[in-house]
Structure 1
Amino acid sequence: MPRRVPIPIDLQARAFSISEGLYAGLGESRLRGRDLVRPFHGVRAVGAASGVVARCRSYLPRLRDGQFFSHEIAAFLWGMPRPRRFEAADPLHVSSFVPERAPRTRGVVGHELRPGRAEVVGRSGLPVADAASTWLHLASVLGLDDLVAAGDHLVLDPAVLELDDPRPYLGVDSLRAAADGFRGRGRRLAVEAVSLVRVGAESRPETLLRLLLMRAGLPEPELNFVVEGAGGRFLARVDLAYPEFKVAVEYDGDQHRSDSRQYDHDIARFDRLHDAGWHVVRVRARGLFRFPDETAARVERVLATRGARP
């Protein structure tokens, strides 16, 4: 049996087009070899892409000048929370500016945008629609609360910064200006959502919990509030807070119980808050998504015991 022609080293680490393979000396029969995967029409790779970012990179050989990743895939690359996880098998969204035609191939949803409807920036080594434009594109596919959660993510100034990923991605004023000037599908929802975007929420559930309490007629809580003890000593940082009444509302995700170190840290933190006179209302997924009215009523009762007036 004849030996297979080896794939050149510079093509082994990335996806490549058929024309690149031919130029490198690989024949058409070699490019049809069963050891090569075909992530997209006209593209070959030594191994299957693992993960969404890798799948985007495997599309790069097909990406023409001026084309870029947008819409739901851009939201993933910006880390925006969504009600459903973006799976590796989901179609990629790729845009081009008119008069260039949108791509048409299996596994890709193409979009044609008017010039000026987005800026193209670098993200994870990929050409991606800018953060504000991506958020506006989501206004046609997300509900109000999830659009607010995506906006909260973009304006967040996190307590722990990553040097290679400066935050926030944009300010509230910039997002508001983008919504006011938007004329595409979902404009009304974007304008409504941006009025509810706040700096401080570190997760989708925190945003949804804040909106739940506000919608129930409760005062708007402060986000990621730092509780200090005597002499300004740091005691804890809480998800949502009513400092006047010393009431904190915390969302307990699964990691709080599955991670023993996190669980021990939480217990110590709650003990410090209790000793400082704070009442902590802990909310889990069941209380937020299945029984939201009961959760809002529970917070209202606690506030009432602390002197809050209806």
Structure 2
Amino acid sequence: MGQRAVREALASGLLSQPWRGVVMRAENALKLVTMAEAALLVIGDPVVLSGPTSLAVHGISAAASTKIHVTVPYGRRIKSKPGLVVHQGYYRPMDVIEIDGLATFPIDLALADFLCDGDRRTAFAALDEAMRGLPPDHVRKLRENVRERLEDRRDRRGIHRASTLLDLATGMAESPPESVLRLVVVEAGFPVPEPQYEITAVDGRVVYRLDMAWPSRRIALEYDGYAAHEERGDRDADRDARMAARGWITIRAVAADLRDPGRLLKELEDAFHLRSG
């Protein structure tokens, strides 16, 4: 285009320059693949997408972030920039794959790293999402692969946390908030709940499927996502009443409870106290 045309396009907003040295069509500035490619160009080889960006490239929505994360080998002193987070770490050429032409970590390595040093809740939700929908043997294999990656890490920081999260994940949560809710109640000291617990009729027909439950105490915990439940108040109340007739206590959580779980945890504590007598 020539420098003058580029400057004019930048001034008019037709082009965007996220970092010095790269320009893109402004309409693509919010696209993950475009921003990731720009980040790789800015940093230059050797560099690889990592952390939440690597997971997002693998299709893990729970890891979506407005910042691009990359890793360079130890010895490359590259500073982070606004919107671009540069990590240093050890990795081998065989640890890098390509997705849509972008150098990135395989999903098991990306998960292992993020479980160690990423946001705890986001990392757990990403792991659960990666397992979701996989056959049991594939879930088992993914868990084994992530565990092997953890064992191979030179940086041992965060290993215990990552292993704990790895053991807790099931892949059965229907959404990232459900995964976070499971983590919240377990970290609060409650027993690990059974995910997607089925309530059956006498003939074996499934009547209800609970997000998570403690069957021995007949306590159910349901996550009410806004889109799914905004017009289902009466139906949910009727279901809770039917569950109560079966001897179940149903506690419902909403998005606000993930930010401030005090109310939710108090209701759970009261329910457990009632059922422990």
Q: Do they fold alike, i.e. is TM over 0.5? A: yes
User: In the TM superposition, what is the alpha-carbon distance from 1:230 to its structure 2 partner?
Assistant: 3.1
- SS of corresponding position for 2:62: coil
In 1, Cα distance between equivalents of 2:189 and 2:93 = 37
Counterpart residue number, 1:68? 48
2:15 to 37, 52, 75: 37
Counterpart residue number, 1:17? none
1:142 aligns with 2:119: yes
In 2, Cα distance between equivalents of 1:122 and 1:267 = 49
User: In the TM superposition, what is the alpha-carbon distance from 1:66 to its structure 2 partner?
Assistant: 5.3
User: In the TM superposition, what is the alpha-carbon distance from 1:242 to its structure 2 partner?
Assistant: 2.0
Q: AA paired with 1:219?
A: P
Distance change in 2, residues 1:97/1:296 (3 Å): same
Aligned length: 267
User: In the TM superposition, what is the alpha-carbon distance from 1:206 to its structure 2 partner?
Assistant: 2.6
- SS of corresponding position for 2:197: strand
- SS of corresponding position for 1:115: coil
Distance change in 2, residues 1:303/1:65 (3 Å): same
1:194 aligns with 2:166: yes
1:81 to 54, 58, 62: 62
Distance change in 2, residues 1:264/1:79 (3 Å): farther
Distance change in 2, residues 1:124/1:276 (3 Å): farther
Q: Deviations over 1:150-171 (max 9, x none)?
A: 3323333379xxxxxxx86962
Give the alignment of 1:156-305 within 5 angstroms.
156-157=132-133, 171-184=142-155, 185-258=157-230, 260=231, 266=236, 270=240, 273=243, 277-292=247-262, 294-305=263-274
In 2, Cα distance between equivalents of 1:276 and 1:124 = 52
- SS of corresponding position for 1:183: coil
The structure with the larger Rg is 1
User: In the TM superposition, what is the alpha-carbon distance from 1:127 to its structure 2 partner?
Assistant: 3.2
Q: AA paired with 1:198?
A: T
Unpaired stretches in structure 2, ≥5 consecutive residues: none
Distance change in 2, residues 1:192/1:222 (3 Å): closer
In 2, Cα distance between equivalents of 1:110 and 1:227 = 48
Distance change in 2, residues 1:229/1:108 (3 Å): same
Unpaired stretches in structure 1, ≥5 consecutive residues: 1-25, 160-166
Contact 1:235 1:273 in 2 (8 A): no
Q: AA paired with 1:202?
A: E
Q: TM-score scaled to structure 2, two decimals?
A: 0.73
Percent identity over the alignment?
A: 22
In 2, Cα distance between equivalents of 1:264 and 1:119 = 52
- SS of corresponding position for 1:48: helix
Higher helix share: 2
User: In the TM superposition, what is the alpha-carbon distance from 1:179 to its structure 2 partner?
Assistant: 1.9
1:129 aligns with 2:130: no
Distance change in 2, residues 1:233/1:180 (3 Å): same
